[in-house]
Amino acid sequence: MLLDSMSLTETTPLVLDGKWVRDQILAELKPRVEKLTAAHRQPGLAVILVGNNPASEIYVRLKVKTCAELGIYSEKITRPDSVTTAELLGIIEGLNQRPEIDGILVQTPLPPQVDKNRILRALRPDKDVDGFHPFNVGALVENIPAPRACTPAGIMEMLRRYNIPISGHRAVVVGRSDIVGKPMALLLLHANATVTICHSKTSNLAEECRRADILVAAIGRAHWITRDFIKPGATVVDVGMNRKPDGKLAGDVNPDDAKALAGAYTPVPGGVGPLTIAMLMANTVEIAEQHLCSG
Ligand code: NAP
């Protein structure tokens, strides 16, 4: 009986609980929001939502709700799918100039007629809560403080809070998008991991992944990462959020294979998902503190 329970402990992977990490992050932010509000004013976040994408509507609702729970002022600006680049640039210009708005977020995807790059570059870098402005991307490359992309920053918080060792370990990031893969790889590099970035043209993807002590899957293909890709004992972080025909969410990693082989893994849902909003709140508070300091 004792032997059974010992072998169970040895083989049962650690489930990295994103809700637990989110709740910790939000609980730590609350007194900072209260302090700012008492000393100065509420931190303020403006969210621009274009069109009627159901997923975007859910994300924005959740962001606004989390702001309210923390005591952050939020403003939702909605425009129809027919919006022009010029109209959005005008809205951003107005928000850039309003002192009570610390952070501005433009919910993506944007309709095809809108020039997304011009929109993201129009945000004042010190209000860019998503960390997508080239100025902030440059700061990430140089490892100097600036708002960081929320999902990768949340994953770093999770690894830190679960004491997953990074320095000197091999990390493989599958995916090279500007919002997840690239910033994730840079954050791991700055934490002294030896980082490999893989993508759709990578030869021998499974072989590359099997070298990883930390494997981050940000691909957008349901259950693409299977047991052949996972080194026994590795930490497997599943960023994927793929909607199956039955409406349920599926990660990029086959969950049975992660359970069987990983030392630690993030479930879907409940792993990486909750971290993104938590880090959005963290970025908003951090920016508001800096705005207060710079007076
Ligand atoms: P994306 O922009 O579509 O990028 C996907 C990346 O995966 C690309 O770099 C692509 O390579 C690579 N890829 C595609 N198929 C591949 C294959 N067969 N083998 C190897 N690499 C492959 O997606 P994203 O925005 O980074 O998002 C990735 C996933 O994370 C999606 O499921 C998304 O919904 C999810 N996500 C979750 C959160 C969250 O809060 N949990 C936040 C953001 C995104 P190429 O560059 O060569 O095309």
Q: Give residue-wise pLDDT tens across range 183-198.
A: 999 999 999 999 999 9
Residue with tokens 């992050």: 25
Can you give the pLDDT at residue 105? 98
Exposed/middle/buried for residue 249 (C-beta within 10 Å: 0-12, 13-18, 19+): middle
In whole angstroms, give the CA distance from residue 216 to residue 28.
26
Task: Give the per-residue pLDDT at 10.
Answer: 52
Question: What count of residues does the chain have?
Answer: 295
Q: How far apart, in whole angstroms, are the C-alpha atoms of residue 236 and residue 70?
A: 31
pLDDT of residue 295: 73
Tokens of 32: 């900072």
| CA atoms of 140 and 147, how far apart (whole Å) | 8
Dump the DSSP string for 92-106. Answer: HHHHHH-TT--EEEE
Tell me the pLDDT tens digit for each residue of 106-126: 999 999 999 999 999 999 999
- Counting from 1 in the atom list of ligand 1, the atom nearest the Cα of 220 is 32
What whole-number distance in Å separates Cα of residue 106 and Cα of residue 80? 14
pLDDT per residue over 34-53, tens digit each?
999 999 999 999 999 999 99
Q: Which residue among 132, 224, 241 has the greatest number of ligand 1 atoms within 8 angstroms of its CB, and so is best to mutate?
A: 241
User: What are the tens digits of pLDDT across the range 61-97?
Assistant: 999 999 999 999 999 999 999 999 999 999 999 999 9
When the pLDDT of each residue in the chain is averaged and rounded to a whole number, the result is: 95
Q: Model confidence at 4, in pLDDT bands (50, 70, 90)?
A: very low
Q: Determine whether the shortest distance from the Cβ of 242 to ligand 1 is under 6 A.
A: yes
Specify the pTM: 0.96
Q: Which ligand 1 atom is the nearest neighbour of the CA of 252?
A: 32
**CA–CA gap between residue 261 and residue 244 (Å, rounded):** 24
Confidence band (pLDDT; 50, 70, 90) for 11? confident
Contact 76, 60 (CB under 8 A): yes
Query: CA nearest 214: which of 168, 276, 146, 277?
Result: 168
